[in-house]
A = this chain, B = another copy of it.
Amino acid sequence: MKGIRALARHLDISIGTVSRALNGKPDVNPETRARVMEAARALGYTPNQSGRSLRQGVTNTIGFMIEMSPDANASGDDFFMGVFEGVQTVLNRHRLDLVVFPCPAEENPVDYLSRLVGRGMVDAMIISATRRRDDRIDFLEKTQLPFIALGRSESGPDMRWIDLDFEGVAHSSVARLVAKGHRRIALAIPDGDINLGHVFHDAYRAALSQHGIAYNPALLFRVARVLECGDDLVTALLALPELPSAILLSSEVMSLSLYRKLQERGIRPGRDIAVIGFRDNPRTSFLTPSLTCHSISLSDLGQTLAETLLAGIPAFADLYPGRDRNLIWPMALVQGESDDFDIVPER
C-alpha cells in the first residue's frame, strides 16, 4: 500500500496533479490521468481521504433512478434522455456529474435503491416513476441523503418534487372535447401502481364533473403495455354498446398502435373517434392525422428539477433561492387534427 506522496514520486508528477487526477477533477489531461490511475492500481495506492463518499457533497455525483419496466423501452426512454440533458446543464455549472441507475424490472425498487445508495457513489438522488405510496421515499428520508422526486406521492409530504400538470392536461382536453359536443369521453391509463395513473384518473373525473358529465367506469381502460396497447384497446372499445366519441391517452405513445388498429377496423382517428395524446413527443409527430397533445420542454423540466434539488443542499441553497420545494409543471395544448371534428347532437 502506497500513499499519494509515494505515487507522485514514482510518477515524477506533483502531488497536486496526482490528487486532481485521482479525484476526477477536470483540469488534468487524459494521458496524465491514465498514467496516474495505472500506477495507483499497480502500486496498490491507498487514498487517505477515506470515507469521503459517506460525507455529503464529496462524490460530486448525483444519481438518477429510472425503472426498466417492460414498457420502459417503449415509453419512458426518450422522455428521460430529454430530462437528463436539462439536469446536466445545471450540474455542469457546479462540476457535478449525473449517473443513471436503471432498476431492473424484476427487482424491488427500494432494495435496488438502498443497495445503490449504499455503494456510496452519490451525494444526492433523483427518483422517478413514483408510486402513490412509495417506500423509496421513506428510505431516502431516513438516510438523510438529499433527493427530489420527479412525480408526486402520498409518501414524503415534505419532500421536494416536480410533477407534470395532469390536472391541467385533463381539464383542457375535456373542455376542448365538450366544446365540440363530445359527452362519451374515454380514458386510457397504464395498469399498475404508478401514481400518474391515479392522478390522471382523478383529474379526468374532476374535469368531467365540472362539465356535468357523469363518470362512467366502463370508459376507463387500463393498459398493460403502453406501446402495444392498440389491439386490446380497440377490442375493448368495440365491445362497448356504443363507441366513445373521444379518448384521452395518458401516454402519447399509445397512439402509435391505436391509430393502426383503429384504421384496420375502418375507424378513422380524427373523424370517427377523437384522440388526444399526452405529450408532444417527436416520435408521434409524424402521425396522420396529427395528434392533439400538450407541449413540454424536457430540457427546461430537467433544469428546474436539478435546481430544485440543489436548492435543498446547504452548499448550493443560496444559489437557487427562488426555487419552491414543489412544482406542478404546466403543459399547453397543441392543436392537431386527431380531434378536430364536431359531434352533432342526436336529438
CA–CA, A99 and B80, complex, Å: 15
CA–CA, A227 and B82, complex, Å: 14
Contacts of A116 on B, CB cut-off 8 Å? 24, 97, 99
Q: Judge if A46 is at the interface, Cβ distance under 8 Å.
A: yes
CA–CA, A346 and B51, complex, Å: 77
Whether the pair A97, B68 counts as a contact (CB closer than 8 A) is no
Contacts of A24 on B, CB cut-off 8 Å? 115-116, 118-120
CB distance from A185 to the nearest CB of B (A): 24
Contacts of A135 on B, CB cut-off 8 Å? 30
Number of interface residues of A (CB under 8 A): 82
Contacts of A89 on B, CB cut-off 8 Å? 104
Beyond A119-B59, A283-B227, whether A26 also contacts B111 by CB under 8 A is yes
Whether the pair B85, A81 counts as a contact (CB closer than 8 A) is no
CB distance from A251 to the nearest CB of B (A): 13
Q: Judge if A342 is at the interface, Cβ distance under 8 Å.
A: no
Q: Render A270-299 as a binary contact track against B, CB cut-off 8 A, 1 for contact.
A: 000000000000110010100000000010
CA–CA, A72 and B21, complex, Å: 29
Q: Judge if A249 is at the interface, Cβ distance under 8 Å.
A: no
Whether the pair B68, A84 counts as a contact (CB closer than 8 A) is yes
CA–CA, A35 and B41, complex, Å: 33
CA–CA, A37 and B139, complex, Å: 11
Contacts of A51 on B, CB cut-off 8 Å? 1, 44-47, 50
CA–CA, A74 and B77, complex, Å: 10
Contacts of A23 on B, CB cut-off 8 Å? 118-119
Contacts of A117 on B, CB cut-off 8 Å? 37
Which residues, 56 to 95 on A, are CB-close (under 8 Å) to B? Answer: 56, 59-61, 68, 72-74, 76-78, 80-82, 84-85, 88-89, 92
Contacts of A142 on B, CB cut-off 8 Å? 31, 34-35, 38
CA–CA, A45 and B53, complex, Å: 10
Contacts of A77 on B, CB cut-off 8 Å? 77-78, 80-81
A145 to chain B: closest residue by CB: B37
Whether the pair A228, B282 counts as a contact (CB closer than 8 A) is yes
Contacts of A118 on B, CB cut-off 8 Å? 21-25, 28, 33, 37
Q: Judge if A110 is at the interface, Cβ distance under 8 Å.
A: yes
CA–CA, A41 and B140, complex, Å: 13
Contacts of A45 on B, CB cut-off 8 Å? 51, 54
Q: Judge if A260 is at the interface, Cβ distance under 8 Å.
A: yes
CA–CA, A74 and B81, complex, Å: 9
Contacts of A73 on B, CB cut-off 8 Å? 78, 81-82, 85, 282, 298
CA–CA, A92 and B117, complex, Å: 17
- 15 CB-based A-B contacts, threshold 8 Å: A30-B135, A31-B142, A37-B143, A40-B54, A45-B54, A46-B50, A47-B50, A73-B85, A74-B283, A88-B102, A89-B104, A99-B99, A100-B100, A228-B282, A256-B286
